[in-house]
Structure 1
Amino acid sequence: MISVRQVVDGELAALREVRLRALAADPVAFGSTLDGERARPMAFWRERLARGPWFVAWAGQEAVGVVSAVPTPTRAEYRLEAMWVDRAWRGEGVAEVLVDAVLAWSRSRGATSVALWVFDGNSAARRFYERVGFRPVGRREPHPEKTGQFRECLRIELRSGS
């Protein structure tokens, strides 16, 4: 059975560990790098947690997925970032419960939408996001660190009580 918990300060080591696993397993899916984040002190992880919530999916004592919700300046919209599910757990509903956690948390803060960026070539992630209701908004931009690669913005509108 999968459970999802919002990360608290005492779980920073677990957050760091699952994030580093994500970067090692799927480096092209993220804007940052394994080496860059591995070198960061725990203060970096504490600052990331202070910016917005992180949620970890657990199968017993094993962290099998992670996602973050980051506020935008208006707080009417949050961004879903750093989504990852361990390959062994893909197709088992982990991604859905992580997205649900971000949507519920954003809705509880009064947001009207949640947006995300998906990198070109990450077609499985794009199909998943579209399946759960995210839609392209017509914004594309270059990858922040990889020349010649692009990403596209998708958004889901939140309805109160949904």
Structure 2
Amino acid sequence: MKILLFMAQGFETMEFSPFVDVFGWARNDYGYDVSVSTCGFRKKVMSSFHIPVLVDKTIDEVNINDYDALAVPGGFEEYGFYEEAYDARFLSLIRAFHESRKWIAAICVGALPLGKSGILTGRHATTYHLGDGKRQAQLSAMGAKVVDEPIVID
């Protein structure tokens, strides 16, 4: 399985690392045929708290036929996350994965670009619940049926 891990500017490092770590362990210690390729709008993406990460591919280099799944960590508004997460090129990439019936996973507010792309309309989803449910309300306004659960699969 080949996974594309997309990092928008201001992505949360603690939400990026589980994908790399869990799938790395699965491959190296348990023999699963899984690989993760990182992706962003530029080769060096600045995460939350100004941690730079060099990605494997830029969004313009991605061919979705090379991947089985898309993973999207959330991020911080203060670090510019939504500017790139809502970029038309990324929303188009999300829709292309969806139309190809490939797996898509998001953590925290990584669900919001999925909602913005339209693929969650009428589907169960969840996102960050603190701040008086502001992000859940945004996801709901995008057409998702928001469920206040830690993990939602639909």
TM-score when scaled to structure 2? 0.38
Larger strand share, 1 or 2: 1
